[in-house]
A and B are shown apart, each in its own frame.
Chain A
Amino acid sequence: MRDVFGTVLRYKLWFDLWGARQRTLQAVLTIAIGAFAVGTILGAKQGVTIDTKAAWSTVEAPSILLRVNPPADDQLLEALRNRPELLKVDAQMEQAIVWRPSPDEPWQPATLIARDDYEQQELNLLLLEEGEWPFGRSVAVERRFGVEVGDRLELQINDRRIEVPVGGTIYNRVAMAASLGGDLVVYTTRERFSKMTGQTGFSTIFAAVDNYSFETATQIYSKLYNDLSEQGFSLLPAAFDRSPVVDPQRAWFEELITGIGLVMQVVSAIAMGLSLLLIYTTVTAIITQQTAQIGELKAIGASSRQIVYVYLCLVAAYGLMAALISAPLSVIGANLLRIVLITRLGLDAGPPHISWGSLAIQLALCIFAPILIALFPILRGARITVREAISFYGLSSTGNRIDIVLARLVWLSRVVSMAISNAFRNPSRLVLTQLALGGAGVTLVAVLSTQATLYYTSGDLMHSIYPFEVQLDTKRPVSLAQLSKAADLPGVERIEVWQTLSVVLETADGHSRALQLNGVPLPSQAYRPQLYAGRWLQADDTYALTLVESLATQLNIEVGDKVKIAIPSRDGRTVWASEREWEVVGIVLEPYLRNLSRFGFAPRDTLIEEAQFGQRFTRVQIQIPAATGQNAAQIASALRDFYDRQGVEMYTTMNDTVAERSEMEASNLDVIAMLLLAIAVIMAAVGGVALSGVLQISVLERRREIGVLRAIGATPRVVRSLFVIEGLILGWLSWLVALALSYPVGLLLSRMLASTIGISIVYQYSWGGLLFWFVLASVIGVCASLAPAQRAINANVQESLAYE
């Protein structure tokens, strides 16, 4: 056998590869594109994981984060450093300020931070990106906010306006990046911080424990909490998720990365499936096309084993060439995608990276998968008897019921009926085509639905929950009369006054979280709850709570559960103004990222009573007439000025209006939305290649038929129409597949994603996406058929008639 293969069959192999270059190119590209998609996605996923781990591994993240009041002095820090259960202790001074790059720009929120010694940091390490650490009057700023070394900034701190030079930029891996909607961080020296703010102590303390475990860290925290409380300090958890204990190995962006990873995994699995389908379709078509040759080989004495061997070698050669094309391209693609994602997270992308694991999968997909998949059609082909193989004459295929039905539709053009018949002629290939193209359509619409869900949840849903457009928070509790004055302003329809408090919630099983408890007047006009379970607050409720769904899920709280709410005291004489049991009567859905959604709602009057504030409030919700975007922001700005003139100090945020908050949430989800869109494009491309491949094969198989058609008078235009209509039919069929399956698949994907990144969603099916797929599938159908059609037109009629 080796001798035979070494001579004649080797020539056949070479002829099949080189002699049929166009077919070889088609087969190689078909295998390569699926492998490229898989390699790119898996490679980027691994690269993102490596880069984020690398970025976080040198942060020296703490496991306990506390906000202390009054701020800690050096003596307290020293005492903490001497505690044996704490491995390392570090601290920073923090104050919310506002800044602007020049006097004609609006004020924007920022955080002013000072470390004791920037050269000797212990935890949450900051890295100097450019210039110098803060010194004297010179500050450093968080990078990528458009502020450069040498710029000057105007800061407003406690009503004082100060101009400061920027001497350095800092890479803070713990701060939320500008690209994710984070606020600027301004770094200064300890001395300068004290001069600017009047505060001398450290308001935030970080501590690391040895051999972190949640239980150990929680025990240490409890002891610390009791000791410091006894010394007259009030403590609030300061971590991103407002829990006092955090896993130092778990970065703040972990949930986002997991979400991105999940999307990438799901899609790479789909891409892999599609890729395998493409390979199967291509190989089957080639074998079918060579049936006569197989018969001839057998007729002259080739064994089934030899035939299997020669065709497996052919498939392996296709795979090898596909691997050579796709491997380098996917390495480039994976690195580009990795850099885009990592930069979007505000982190530094590492050096170019080759994911050997994904390359191995890709190579397996290129070489072994085609061989395995091809075995079935090859074995089937090799089993064919000589008589069956060479008894073929004339035009193949036998027609089916559809053809009979089409023949009876006398009003239907024969060209159209022929195109319809061709589309349905080979049922198994039709199924495979639809698995590829329909699969692409289903994925695309599901992905666009997931994107629509994310945007709806952070957009329209937020507007429907918060019908009052403007929300302002006072720095100190203010009387109802003072806040209500805004109601007489032009453009203000109605105001509603809330009390918001940072409290600590403790469950029956001892888990505690800090949360923002919103005291709302009942019935509230400014909040329309999206109920998840239980009920909304009623006018006669007292110690009743509703919690947001993500928090309730995390703490395993159900409707009817009793929880302890501790409200910090403001008089300084005691730590807590109130510590008592409340009943959870409902769970509501909040369109905020889990990191930010630690909300609860309680009857305002009961909350005021417990907080011992008297009739003083901290939040004003203002309804304005159907204002949107810029208008609302202008009205919010005018309201700020109004309150400022009234002597009511408001917190500065970037999000006075629901529109702004909605925009911030959307920007948080942009990375995932962008990724979903990129994936949708890849899937559409894979689907297009699949269709084009099928039509190319269709041309090969029906070459003689096309020759006959042309011999009996079909013009090039008719032949082109035949293929374009077939492409359109297959494209539209894929639309029907998407119509049937994209809703449940999108729902599943949205739920998986929401659960991974920790958001609550209300699923929105993308009808626009479905329409888009109709248009795209039509375009793909036409475009994918043009090349095969041209090939059919270019073929010599006489050669087509003689084609075998």
Chain B
Amino acid sequence: MSSNQHTEPFIRVQQLYKNYQVGTSIIPALQGVSFTIQRGEFVAVVGPSGSGKSTLLNLIAAVDSLTSGEVVIDGRSIHRLNETERARWRGVSLGIVFQFFQMMPTMTLLANVMLPMELAGRYSPSQRRKRATELLERVGLGDHIHKLPSRVSGGQQQRAAIARALANDPPLILGDEPTGNLDSGSAEVIFSLFSELAAAGTTVLMVTQDEELAARMPRRITLAEGRIVRDSAEAAHA
């Protein structure tokens, strides 16, 4: 746990700009986005298509490069890290859940969950197996651990993806429309899991287009045309 947790927010996004170059045109995706998130917050990022939600998430995950500005997470300016350092940082400090699950198709659910632990070099091989089994049981997939992703439903795959995101017990979970491809029943299960995580102290940032779901989250940041048009936390303070 960081020593400056009481003085610094867990995530600080400052004057974030991101432009995409398409041919000779420059398309601004984010235009001076700034906000902070405290440890353990459960935040929804909402907005219409093309508003910059996924770009923001990608920059927080350091899987895309920014044009200017800064993203500081737990005291580290993550865009100043080189590619290897970013990969290691992602491995231990971040869990990502994608809209289309993105499980390794040739690995069983168990192996998929063990993979981040192995990549990060954490835990002994037997501990990895034990921990991965526990995580899958925690998301209700204890009976399916030896199945390949193609043998389980979309909702089950997404639950396994959450177990994978938790593999190294990261303090931050990012969800990129994790319920966007699920039926309402499965979406509810996934949302509950995210809520539990947040309740347990994990910071959760979830991009969604589902206004109803977002409305159930404690904080909502609304983007439009690359700018924050509303942050429910600021609105509450105001």
Which residues of A line the B interface, CB within 8 A? 393-400, 403-404, 406-408, 410-411, 413-415, 417-418, 421-422, 425, 704-705, 707-718, 793, 796-798, 801
Q: How far, in angstroms, from A397 to B168 measured CA to CA in the complex?
A: 26
Contact B125–A394 (Cβ < 8 Å): no
Contact B63–A716 (Cβ < 8 Å): no
**B190 in contact (CB, < 8 A):** no
**B209 in contact (CB, < 8 A):** no
Task: Give the distance to chain A from B169, nearest Cβ to Cβ, in Å.
Answer: 13
Contact A712–B107 (Cβ < 8 Å): no
Task: Give the distance to chain A from B110, nearest Cβ to Cβ, in Å.
Answer: 7
Task: Give the distance to chain B from A44, nearest Cβ to Cβ, in Å.
Answer: 45
Task: Give the distance to chain B from A202, nearest Cβ to Cβ, in Å.
Answer: 83
Contact A711–B63 (Cβ < 8 Å): yes
Q: How far, in angstroms, from A768 to B67 measured CA to CA in the complex?
A: 57
Q: Label chain A's interface by main secondary structure.
A: helix
Q: Which residues of A contact B16 (CB under 8 A)?
A: none
Chain B, interface size category, equals 35 or more
Which residues of B76-95 are within 8 A (CB) of A?
83-84, 87-88, 90-92, 95
Q: How far, in angstroms, from A718 to B116 measured CA to CA in the complex?
A: 12
Contact B148–A418 (Cβ < 8 Å): no
Q: How far, in angstroms, from A793 to B129 measured CA to CA in the complex?
A: 28
Interface centre among B84, B98, B125, B168 (most CB of A within 10 A): B98
A712-B146 contact given A395-B103, A418-B106, CB 8 Å threshold: no
Contact A716–B108 (Cβ < 8 Å): no
CB<8 Å pairs between A and B, sample of 7: A393-B100, A404-B146, A407-B111, A414-B119, A711-B63, A713-B116, A716-B83
Interface centre among A407, A418, A718 (most CB of B within 10 A): A407
Residue B150 contacts which of A399, A407, A422, A708 (CB distance < 8 angstroms)? A399
**B149 in contact (CB, < 8 A):** yes
Q: How far, in angstroms, from A610 to B120 measured CA to CA in the complex?
A: 91
Minimal Cβ-Cβ distance residue in B for A422: B106
Q: How far, in angstroms, from A704 to B99 measured CA to CA in the complex?
A: 13
Q: How far, in angstroms, from A435 to B115 measured CA to CA in the complex?
A: 33
Interface centre among A393, A394, A710 (most CB of B within 10 A): A394
Contact A404–B148 (Cβ < 8 Å): yes
Which residues of B line the A interface, CB within 8 A? 58, 61, 63-65, 83-84, 87-88, 90-92, 95-96, 98, 100-108, 110-111, 114-116, 118-120, 125, 129, 146, 148-150, 157, 164-165, 168, 181
Q: How far, in angstroms, from A759 to B101 measured CA to CA in the complex?
A: 67
Minimal Cβ-Cβ distance residue in B for A799: B64
Contact A717–B64 (Cβ < 8 Å): no
Q: How far, in angstroms, from A717 to B115 measured CA to CA in the complex?
A: 15
Minimal Cβ-Cβ distance residue in B for A425: B106
Contact B84–A717 (Cβ < 8 Å): yes
Q: How far, in angstroms, from A334 to B98 measured CA to CA in the complex?
A: 55
Contact B114–A414 (Cβ < 8 Å): yes
Q: How far, in angstroms, from A421 to B64 measured CA to CA in the complex?
A: 29
Task: Give the distance to chain B from A409, nearest Cβ to Cβ, in Å.
Answer: 10
Task: Give the distance to chain A from B122, nearest Cβ to Cβ, in Å.
Answer: 10
Q: How far, in angstroms, from A393 to B107 measured CA to CA in the complex?
A: 17
Q: Which residues of A contact B84 (CB under 8 A)?
A: 715-717
Contact B116–A708 (Cβ < 8 Å): no
Q: How far, in angstroms, from A81 to B65 measured CA to CA in the complex?
A: 95
Contact A705–B87 (Cβ < 8 Å): no
Q: Which residues of B contact A395 (CB under 8 A)?
A: 100-105, 149
Q: A414-B118, A415-B119, A422-B106 are in contact. List 4 more A-B contacts (CB 8 A).
A: A404-B148, A407-B107, A414-B107, A710-B90
Q: Which residues of B contact A411 (CB under 8 A)?
A: 125
Q: How far, in angstroms, from A415 to B121 measured CA to CA in the complex?
A: 12
Contact A713–B90 (Cβ < 8 Å): yes
Contact B181–A714 (Cβ < 8 Å): no
Task: Give the distance to chain B from A710, nearest Cβ to Cβ, in Å.
Answer: 6
Q: Which residues of B contact A707 (CB under 8 A)?
A: 63
A713-B92 contact given A393-B100, A394-B102, A798-B58, CB 8 Å threshold: yes
A417-B111 contact given A399-B149, A411-B125, CB 8 Å threshold: yes
Task: Give the distance to chain A from B16, nearest Cβ to Cβ, in Å.
Answer: 15
Q: Which residues of A contact B90 (CB under 8 A)?
A: 710-713
Q: How far, in angstroms, from A709 to B157 measured CA to CA in the complex?
A: 16
A396-B105 contact given A404-B146, A410-B129, CB 8 Å threshold: yes
Contact B119–A713 (Cβ < 8 Å): yes
Contact B148–A798 (Cβ < 8 Å): no
Contact B105–A713 (Cβ < 8 Å): no
A798-B106 contact given A410-B125, A414-B111, A716-B87, CB 8 Å threshold: no
Minimal Cβ-Cβ distance residue in B for A392: B100
Residue B118 contacts which of A415, A798, A801 (CB distance < 8 angstroms)? A415
Contact A398–B150 (Cβ < 8 Å): yes
Q: Which residues of A contact B63 (CB under 8 A)?
A: 707, 710-711, 796-798, 801
